[in-house]
Amino acid sequence: MEVRVRYAPSPTGLQHIGGIRTALFNYFFARANGGKFILRVEDTDRERYSDESLEDLYSTLEWLGIKWDEGPVVGGPCGPYIQSERFDLYKKYAEELVEKGKAYYCFCTPERLEEVRKQQVESKSEYQGYDRHCAHLSDSEIKEYLRQGIKPVIRLRVPTEGKTTFHDILMGDITRRNRDVSPDPILLKSDGFPTYHLANVVDDHLMGITHIMRAQEWIPSGPLHVLLYEAFGWEIPQYCHLPMVMGKDGQKLSKRHGSTAVRDFRAKGYLPEAIINYVTLVGWSLDGSTEFFSKEELEKCFTMEGIHKAPAVFDYKKLDWFNGQYIRQADDSRLASLITPYLQEAGYVKNPLSAEDADLISKIVPPVKERMKVLSDVVPLTAFLFEDKPVTDKAVYVAKGSDEEKTGEALQRGSDILLSGLKNGEKEESIEEKLTALSQELGIKVNGVFQPIRVAITNSTVSLPLFDSIRLLGIDETEKRLMRAVKLFEEN
Ligand code: GLU
Ligand code: ZN
For residue range 435-478, list pLDDT tens digits in order. 999 999 999 999 999 999 999 999 999 889 999 999 999 999 99
Per-residue pLDDT, 125: 84
The domains spanning 4-83+245-313 and 86-242 adopt the same CATH topology: yes
330-386 maps to which CATH number?
Answer: 1.10.8.70
Longest dimension (CA), the chain: 106
Cβ(89)–Cβ(83) below 8 Å: no
Judge if the beta carbon of residue 214 lies within 6 A of ligand 1: yes
Judge if the beta carbon of residue 43 lies within 6 A of ligand 1: no
Per-residue pLDDT, 128: 83
Q: Which CATH superfamily is domain 4-83+245-313 in?
A: HUPs (3.40.50.620)
For residue 221, give the ligand 1 atom closest to its CA. Answer: 9
pLDDT at position 263 over 90: yes
CB count, 10 Å around CB of 317? 9
Percent of the chain clearing pLDDT 70 (strictly above): 100
Residue whose C-alpha is closest to residue 324's, from 359, 278, 280, 357? 278
Residues with CB under 5 A from ligand 2 (ion): 106, 108, 133-134
Residue whose C-alpha is closest to residue 180's, from 157, 164, 192? 164
Judge if the beta carbon of residue 9 lies within 6 A of ligand 1: yes
Residue in 40, 200, 229 to alter for ligand 1 test, most ligand atoms within 8 A of Cβ: 200
DSSP label of 105? E
Which one of 3.90.1150.10, 3.20.20.370, 3.40.50.620, 3.40.50.150 gives the CATH number of domain 86-242? Answer: 3.40.50.620
- Ligand closest to the CA atom of residue 153: 2
- In tens, the pLDDT along 337-392 reads 999 999 999 999 999 999 999 999 999 999 999 999 999 999 999 999 999 999 99
Per-residue pLDDT, 199: 98
For residue 42, give the ligand 1 atom closest to its CA. Answer: 1
For residue 255, indicate whether it is catalytic.
yes
Whole-number Å distance, alpha carbon 10 to ligand 2 midpoint, is 28
Judge if the beta carbon of residue 218 lies within 6 A of ligand 1: yes
Residue 177's SS3 state is strand
pTM of the model: 0.94
Q: How confident is the model at residue 109 (pLDDT cuts 50, 70, 90)?
A: very high
pLDDT at position 492 over 70: no
Per-residue pLDDT, 333: 98
Which one of 1.10.10.350, 3.10.310.10, 1.10.10.10, 3.30.300.180 gives the CATH number of domain 394-490? Answer: 1.10.10.350
Would you state the torsion angle of the CA atoms of residues 249, 250, 254, 257, taken in this order, to the nearest 10 degrees? Answer: 10
Per-residue pLDDT, 18: 97
Judge if the beta carbon of residue 200 lies within 6 A of ligand 1: yes
Domain boundaries, the chain: 4-83+245-313, 86-242, 330-386, 394-490
Whole-number Å distance, alpha carbon 51 to ligand 1 midpoint, is 18
